Structure 1
């Protein structure tokens, strides 16, 4: 089948070839109605480029990403993937990554003030809060397309969410924990510990809810202790784990929803005796080592490389699309064990 031409697009849209050329190259002098006709005709004829069935813009776009890097290895891996992947795409005119200082919504708003006037799309990792929802609304109203990454911001006009279904990820952890820790408990009542970074991340709240639901429904002999908040800090997590092991020596399982993982692992190593069954999230250099050394048992991974690549593709797709939202397609969480640690 031959490739569509500008003449084909002009015939289908019922406009001149000069009008088609102006639209496809982003030049002024075309009415909104004719611009819509040309874009619709180009898409229907398969003229515009696509990636995995996502229609991409006809001209290079300027992208910006706002990521709370901090000490999180996952965030740094994600940012590196976005930077490297975007650099190899001709349809990315520029890609700027802004580190956000912490999770406070006000910090995101200050960072967004750096958004360039030429920017076509913005990717965000942020908490679900009235301030962040309003910031997304203001960006969308200014004509900038916005996607959320890793943790969604509901009730906001974001064009797409890129990441795993965090409730499914939490339920997956619950099923693995229930079966494996249940064996250790031998069918007797036994406690489980759940460590939270912060419920301000919608994704962390969804993981917690999914985990709780499975444990409650399917493993009633296992009871969850009150959630322990770490505020994403390893020192806090280490101290809390040490207290937990002293007060609950019969603990059979530990599930960490977010960051603070290395602190939990240090406390378990210092404890010395038989450790509980441990599930963490995100495959990083730290969790790889902990798996290899048999200091933890399972990692539920959201695949930083795939998430970063899809963040760029979905942001480009949202810029090309006239629909307010792209079709939601979650990234499948991976269950990583000591014997199947992937290279990347």
Structure 2
């Protein structure tokens, strides 16, 4: 009997560990584009799941952004069925017309589709093929954008997606290993041309920045960047727990947040409390930036009678005596809607860098 190729064994072990403590109900679904990472993941899930008393299925999303995308998606589905994966679904999405750039729009459409399929099948988890190299790229992009600890934590190994665990088993597996696994298994992955398109920041990091870092600092730089993400994620988990308690303690009996309690918090903790509160009010997480949180903080620490601060989602927050309140309908206070300033006139507290 031929020895099992080490990359194949490593990926199977990673999948076994990732699904070991998942609920027993429903299939484990693999999100697979047909690229080397997700293809190697799907092959491992097809092998591991039945041996652990589970079923594994596959979902492939056709974004319709390239010629032949529908045929490629169908080819992935046919391979999945031959590999014994079930259920297998091809989902076609509409990317055009969504907010944000092309990358963000495609990602939003993809995750919306994956979520719908996972919920419909009552999946015990949705697995994605993000690797250590993807994590390193994410950390570098976060650094370049001036992100704080939350951004430097990169992609979490597990998070909730509409009640379904989104799990990334390969965050400690390198991209070279997934390619080698495909070769060992006789699989031919699809090479997405978008991954080499210099129009995308991640593609430039992948093609230009990471190779320079590896040549200059050695191959260990990829592991080091991924380890940075794990360390930051652990710190974030603790800080988020502390912030949750602080947010509970800062709630004013009449609604809003008590300024005195906020002022007594350490700045790092107060920022997290204000960010969490803004999310609670309805500010979209992707649109809420450092400058918005800093403007809220000014209402606490540098109050000079300034006007309200505007947040993404049409929210208006102001200081009323000893508390911060929101006057947008649908928030905790349910106050009246307040019109925005005239076009071209920035709202108070909304200036500054992100």
Structure 2 length as normaliser, TM-score?
0.26
If asked which structure has higher relative contact order (CA below 8 Å, sep 6+), I would say 1
More strand by share: 1
More helix by share: 2
Structure 1 length as normaliser, TM-score?
0.27
